[in-house]
Amino acid sequence: MNKTPFLCSVLLLCISLPSAGQDLNDLIRKEANISVPASEQMYRELHQNPELSLQEFKTAEKMAVALEKMGFEVTGGVGGNGVVGVFRNGTGPVVMLRTDMDALPVREATGVSWASTVTVTDDHGLVTPVMHACGHDLHMTVWHGTLSTLVALRSRWKGTIIAVAQPAEEVSGGSDQMIKDGLYSRFPKPDYALCYHVSPDLPAGTTGYLAGPIFAGVNSADMKVYGIGGHGAMPHKTIDPIVLSAKIILDYQTIVSREINPVSPAVITVGSIHGGTKHNIIPEEVEMKLTLRFFSEDVYRQIREAVVRIANGHAMAAGLPQEKWPVISFGKDFTPPVDNDPGLVSRAAASMEKAIGKENVLRVDPSTVAEDFGKYGRTEEKVKIALFWLGGANRDKYDRSIAEGTMLPALHSSTFLPDFVPAYTTGVTAMSMAVIDLFNSK
């Protein structure tokens, strides 16, 4: 038998696979750093070509192709534009890594040469600019870099990766659509689900963690406040719904300050109010749009009850008959809080400390922003979830903002732009270590 081909194959295998004696931290950092040039190109291409929620057709195709090149079994069209990749590597835990893909109707003002100039026609026929103003382009790139690292180091772990590229996060529907389309039945059910969200308030090179609710739940409410219209010169013959709305809005501010336990955070925002057509006409009705933010369902129920009670009370006090009391409709697809599993957070944060240093893994306060990742943990399958912040602020700008008391560009801002290289390498290094440790845990 000719042994030369066999010896060559063994030699190639030894070269391609890391030695068991090599330090895992070094291997992960090496993979993250090697991938920077190609990943930065991917990031800029994604940034220049954003797509709105439910329109992520080309973005989903890019994610599917990227997964196929890494050896994943890929299924597209899950829950709309969702993509699911499965990578099996022996017997072990099943870990889901999720990224979101959609962008926002924002006109970019970062000034970089690779800024988005995309415009689209929305559902109302209006031309709107589009921008990745919430960092989903960074999320996708870090997700891809982490998956690539895990595949390259597959000799160091056993288990199954479920890679999820989710549509429609910004409209809070994508996760629900993927779950309803069989995410947990058509594919291996995950033991753990992890993701990042970039933070404009943490410096690049860090991650942030919190056990329990890290992001708030949110729901919308649409309200019609009725009155009796008439001439502006004869207000005594009317019941003015604009004045009535003003009283309701002011009293809504007391729900949080006087009705809810001070240690239970909540936010009530009246984001839109429209009424009337002319200077001297008292209108028949006013329309208002609200958002309600909360960290527990008990608080949510308390807010809903108070919103209805206060509106009806003012209408009754104004002398309106019950059939003309305000009509309030609450959103049906509310977003629950992102409730991080404490045990999973503890384990993953410890792994991240090992990978990037304890000083760079920061305990954070809860945030009242919303994210539909929380829905993955609220199914009957009881999947343990953990969302981590990924620092995105340029370190020099961050330090200057602290020293001078200035604000950095926020999420959804036209000037929001993460510091790519340190955010990317930190995100890939920290998450890769966390996932490998989960795979290797008993």
Which active-site residues does the annotation give?
Answer: 100, 170
Sort 426 into a burial class: Cβ within 10 Å, 0-12 / 13-18 / 19+: buried
Kind and range of the H or E run holding 426? helix 420-440
End-to-end CA distance of the chain: 43
Sort 158 into a burial class: Cβ within 10 Å, 0-12 / 13-18 / 19+: middle
Smallest CA-to-CA distance from 54 within 106, 122, 116, 117 is with 122
Smallest CA-to-CA distance from 170 within 411, 7, 415, 426 is with 411
User: Do the beta carbons of residue 303 and residue 290 sit within 8 Å?
Assistant: no
User: Do the beta carbons of residue 392 and residue 423 sit within 8 Å?
Assistant: yes
Smallest CA-to-CA distance from 167 within 61, 261, 241, 82 is with 82
CA 205 to mean position of chain CA atoms: 20
Smallest CA-to-CA distance from 176 within 60, 329, 335, 386 is with 335
Instruction: Show the CA angle centred on residue 295, arms to residues 290 and 298, nearest 5°.
Output: 85
How many whole angstroms separate alpha carbon 87 and alpha carbon 66? 13
What SS3 class is residue 222? strand
Cα–Cα distances in angstroms (integers) from residue 140 to residues 54, 103, 106, in the given order: 16, 12, 19
User: Do the beta carbons of residue 153 and residue 147 sit within 8 Å?
Assistant: no
Give me the phi and psi of 356, to 5 degrees please: -120, 5
CA 371 to mean position of chain CA atoms: 4
Kind and range of the H or E run holding 63? helix 57-69
